[in-house]
Structure 1
């Protein structure tokens, strides 16, 4: 059933941040009804596809973050559809949306309006710059995407090689981290309602979330008065903590404490380095010369050789691509690749599983993403059945 199987979520979100948040809730058992604008979520048509975009219902982007949800198509500007939405709000636990600030007000469906229909509703928004209800700024109402949030929040300035340009992270952390924090806020609000009967507004801004994400840069600025910048794969205060070129790829080594450093020097047959640089501060002050020592040794090893020699005594790992991830037995043992149906293709596809593991109510993807409006009769029929019973 899932830990959240008692909750119904009305999901008005689209693209990535909002759908990822509601996907987490769905994986944990919540009944998530994705309420899509006419034509559906804009990412339904985004690639990749298995074979033919004309026959497949949606691409991998939509599949990955909308699995296990129901779908109904509503035009909130239409009186009948708006009434249907409000009828669902009356019975819902949570509403989640990621429109620009002020959008729901245009439909007269603001938090304040919805609580007239459901006083203990939990209403959650994900926006680029937060909502005026929790702190008004002149940025609110502006569009934002992951790239904008990473640029403003310091992520790009501290990512990349020291002699290269500011660089975004590969995964969309501006969306995904914000979504995860929003999910935490929703669950905190659910717990509060259990104790008090009181619903509330939950607001998570992407810019705000990136400041939380770059916590190290924030305290460095405060403590030193200097703006941190790019350091490649190295760490601003720890050494060795870096990626090194090997004979057939790259591997990372994190041997910054004294015991790990001594073990690394022993494996490299450089015991004298452990004696000459026994403290964290000494190693950090001489990091350039020591980095060259490690780099020269690493180039003589394959990834398997390097990791094999260090595994169990020094934190080390190969830098893997997704093909290698798909071949990793650990990933399969942890159920981190999940097969789901790809409508319109004669095959299943694999999407990322959930990293949240629970002994009694283990979260799991609950089937493929929905077809557009696939669950209209089921969802709105439930409401009609309730009204008939009440009569």
Structure 2
């Protein structure tokens, strides 16, 4: 019994922010019904290659992107533009604790599936809308995309190599951080709303916006700016106030060296057979190293290139100098710590293959999240849900299928 196994979630979201949120809830046992368009489903099902492979090693219709955010859910295909489809959503909402959707502002109102409409059938409903810019403000009608929001929200102004260096300029993150963080914030908001409902019997509306989250997650960069009124700049993999605190290329790969004090700097250069650098007055203290960054860093870069990644990691860890590798994903999943924490999971898929996934990282002693089922195929549970939840018989289901509603 998962911590949230008493909850029913109606998931009208697709792509990433909403599905990431509902996957979190599903991992803790909530019964998540994913509503998808008949014939096509979630857009990310087709965001490939790569695709999941079946038992014969052939590509299926399930893109790896889709697999990342949809485990432990049940898929029901439904045309919500049809009156019959809308009626089914309302019937399911009347039995649900939470509705999550990420349609454009106002789009569901014309179907009678907005918060006010569903609140009429389930007064204590928690209803979470996820959009690019929220339900209010001049940008509310705009479609929101993670890449654009990373730029608008300031993230790309502090991410990327320094403008004066080769390759300098703004850089997005390697994953859709605004989407993912919005999914995480939405999870927290839904759980808070449910706690309030359980105490008071009152449901509520949750308005989540990618831009809001992107701005909020800049954390200390925000407060640095607000305190100083000076806009932070890009430093690439370097640190504005500590040297050396950056990446270096070894003879066979990259490492991170994070020297936090003068003693660690001495140990670092001793490991590189350059102890005289620690005695050089230009480099002996961190303030001087910051001032002489452009002189020192090329010397250190040449020093680091003389040894392999493994040699540097072994020597610096033994000396107590903070360091770490920059692993490729094959190296990540071969890492003994990652393996010991059971971060990779394989779940049987209806195609006969295995869905290779990443486990929920939360560890709990009594009610840990569980990976029970692979992301569903399109409409995999349609008939079962209609029978179980709404007591539809075979004839009614057949009629809905013939009409293209499911």
Check whether the contact 2:130–2:209 (CA below 8 A) recurs between aligned residues. Answer: yes
Q: Aligned partners of 1:106, 1:262: CA distance in 2, in Å? A: 68
**Larger deviation: 88-97 or 323-332?**
323-332
| Cα deviation, residue 155, structure 1 | 1.4
Evaluate the alpha carbon distance shift between residue 57 and residue 340 of structure 1 in structure 2; reply closer, same or farther with a 3 A threshold.
farther
| Mapped pair 1:173 → 2:180 | no
Q: Contact 1:72 / 1:373 at 8 angstroms: preserved in 2?
A: yes
Query: What's 2:400 paired with?
Result: none
Contact 1:56-1:342 within 8 A present in 2 as well: no
Deviation at 1:275, TM superposition (A): 8.7
Superposition pairs for residues 175-190 of structure 1, below 5 Å?
175-190=179-194
The partner residue of 1:308 within 300, 314, 324 is 314
Q: Which residue of 1 aligns with 2:342?
A: 335
Tell me how far 1:107 sits from its aligned partner.
Answer: 1.0
Quick check: 147-156 or 40-49, which moved more? 40-49
The separation in 1 between residues aligned to 2:4 and 2:36, in whole angstroms, is 22
In the alignment, which residue of structure 2 is the partner of 1:59? 63
TM-score, with structure 1 as normaliser: 0.90
Partners of 1:2 and 1:51 in 2: CA distance: 30
Say if 2:95 is the partner of 1:88: no
Q: Distance in 1 between matches of 2:325 and 2:231?
A: 31
After superposition, the C-alpha distances for 1:111-142 in whole angstroms (9 at most, x for unaligned) are: 111111111111111110012xxxx2110111
Distance 1:24 1:259 in 2: 43
Cα deviation, residue 217, structure 1: 3.0
For structure 1, the 5+ residue unaligned runs are: none
The answer to whether the 8 Å contact 2:53/2:354 transfers is no
Return the alpha-carbon distance in structure 2 between the equivalents of residues 227 and 284 of structure 1: 20
Counterpart secondary structure, 2:32: strand
Structure 2 match to 1:30: 30
Counterpart CA distance in 2 for 1:365 and 1:116 is 34
Instruction: Tell me the secondary structure at the aligned position of residue 103 of structure 1.
Output: coil
Name 1:43's counterpart in structure 2: 44
Partner Cα distance (2:277, 2:14) in 1: 58
Question: 2:140 matched to which residue of 1?
Answer: 140
1:68 aligns with 2:72: yes
Give the direction of change, closer, same or farther, for the CA distance of 1:209–1:258 in structure 2 (3 Å limit).
farther
How far the C-alpha of 1:259 sits from its partner, in A, is 5.3
The residue that corresponds to 2:205 in the other structure is: 201
Cα separation, partners in 2 of 1:219 and 1:384, compared to 1, 3 Å: closer
CA displacement at 1:189 relative to structure 2: 1.3
* Aligned residues of 1:56 and 1:343 also touching (Cα < 8 A): no
Q: CA shift at 1:211, angstroms?
A: 0.7
Render the CA deviation track for 1:2-60: whole Å, top value 9, x for unaligned: 21111111110101111111111111211111011233112212211256899614111
| Greater mean deviation of Cα atoms: 212-221 or 363-372 | 212-221
Q: Is the 8 A contact 2:86 2:112 kept in 1?
A: no
Task: Output the aligned Cα RMSD.
Answer: 2.4
1:285 aligned residue (291, 308, 315): 291
Q: Deviation at 1:326?
A: 2.2
Cα drift, residue 336 of structure 1:
0.9
What CA distance in whole angstroms lies between the structure 2 residues aligned with 1:237 and 1:184? 34
**Structure 1 residue 77: Cα displacement:** 2.1
Deviation of 1:208 after TM superposition, in Å, equals: 1.0
User: Counterpart in 2 of 1:354?
Assistant: 360
Residues 89 and 301 of structure 1: CA distance in aligned 2, closer, same or farther (over 3 Å) = same
CA gap 1:77/1:285 in 2 versus in 1, 3 angstroms: same
Number of equivalent positions: 382
Deviation at 1:382, TM superposition (A): 2.2
- 2: distance between equivalents of 1:332 and 1:79? 49
Unpaired runs of 5+ in structure 2? Answer: 394-406
Structure 1 pair 187/284, CA: closer, same or farther in 2 (3 Å)?
farther
Report the counterpart of residue 398 of structure 2 in structure 1: none
Alpha-carbon contact 1:37-1:75 (below 8 Å) kept: yes
